[in-house]
Amino acid sequence: MSKKTLLLATTILCTATLGAAANDRYMSRPPVVVSPDLTAPWVMQLTGEGVQPAVSARRIVVRQREQQRRVLRQRSGVAVQQVSAVVHAEKPVKTQIDPVFLPQVVDYGTEYKAGTIVIDTNNRFLYLVMGDGKARRYGVGVGKPGFEWAGTHKITRKAEWPSWTPPQEMVAREAAKGHYLPAFMEGGPENPLGSRAMYLGSTLYRIHGTNAPWTIGYAVSSGCIRMRNEDVVDLYERVGVGTKVIVI
């Protein structure tokens, strides 16, 4: 046997032996593990002709939010209450209104005459004095920090499904934040003034509805008093032009 033939035979034998050893080592092949991080760059870059990303960014965000909700539900009741309290203290959350802000008749001793509207901005309540120590109470949203005010006015005008023309100073202020307001907006369900508006004196302030009912109970407006649409309709029917409004 020539040296060349011997060398070839030896190479084939070694290769077969190594292959067999490898097969013995991996009798049960380890599973292919894909990174659980579906936002990894290589996953998100699966694009091009005939190629679609395995998971869309929207689905990733939805999945992450569902996971966060599951974690919150698994926590103890006390922990969930603590988290909710922190969120409530910081900013409005799109959820059901706190029952304390739903309309109800309450005891209310006051010197003001029946028919007077008293707005307690600190506690986020509007009272319609009924007399005999009672008042009809509604939850409201009030001016955010820097936009608080107090005073006495009368309702000078009432409007159903009012249109909205943002003041120029508001347009400029919001534009500085990157929020661009329309110059004019017709009345309707999407209008921030909601279903009814009652204008106070000669000011730009109003008692009005809202397209964001979850903000009731918070200091979020530019000075106006906002109510749920169903609540402002109820109040609108109970008061008229000339009604005294006291903001404290």
Between residues 191 and 52, which one has the greater pLDDT?
Answer: 191
Query: 54 pLDDT exceeds 70?
Result: no
- Mean pLDDT of the 23-44 span: 43
pLDDT of residue 183: 87
Which three-class secondary structure state does DSSP give residue 151? strand
What is the spatial distance between Cα 200 and Cα 243, in angstroms, rounded to a whole number? Answer: 10
Q: Decide if 224 is catalytic.
A: yes
Query: 222 pLDDT exceeds 90?
Result: yes
pLDDT of residue 5: 52
Catalytic residue from among 14, 88, 153, 224:
224
Query: 43 pLDDT exceeds 70?
Result: no
pLDDT of residue 92: 73
For the ranges 40-44, 66-70, 74-78, 201-205, the one whose mean pLDDT is highest: 201-205
pLDDT (tens digit, 9 = 90+) per residue, 97-107? Answer: 899 999 999 99
The residue to which tokens 């209008």 are assigned: 191
CA distances (Å), 125 to each of 98, 141, 207, in order? 13, 8, 12
CA distances (Å), 119 to each of 13, 14, 17, in order? 95, 92, 90
Between residues 80 and 152, which one has the greater pLDDT?
Answer: 152
The pLDDT-based confidence of 74 (bands split at 50, 70, 90) is low
Do residues 111 and 82 lie in contact, with contact meaning Cβ atoms separated by under 8 Å? no
Query: 41 pLDDT exceeds 90?
Result: no
Between residues 133 and 52, which one has the greater pLDDT?
Answer: 133
Domains and CATH numbers, the chain: 99-247 (2.40.440.10)
pLDDT of residue 90: 45
pLDDT (tens digit, 9 = 90+) per residue, 142-195? Answer: 999 999 999 999 999 999 999 999 889 898 988 898 988 888 999 999 999 999
Query: 39 pLDDT exceeds 60?
Result: no
pLDDT of residue 224: 97
What is the spatial distance between Cα 150 and Cα 172, in angstroms, rounded to a whole number? Answer: 25
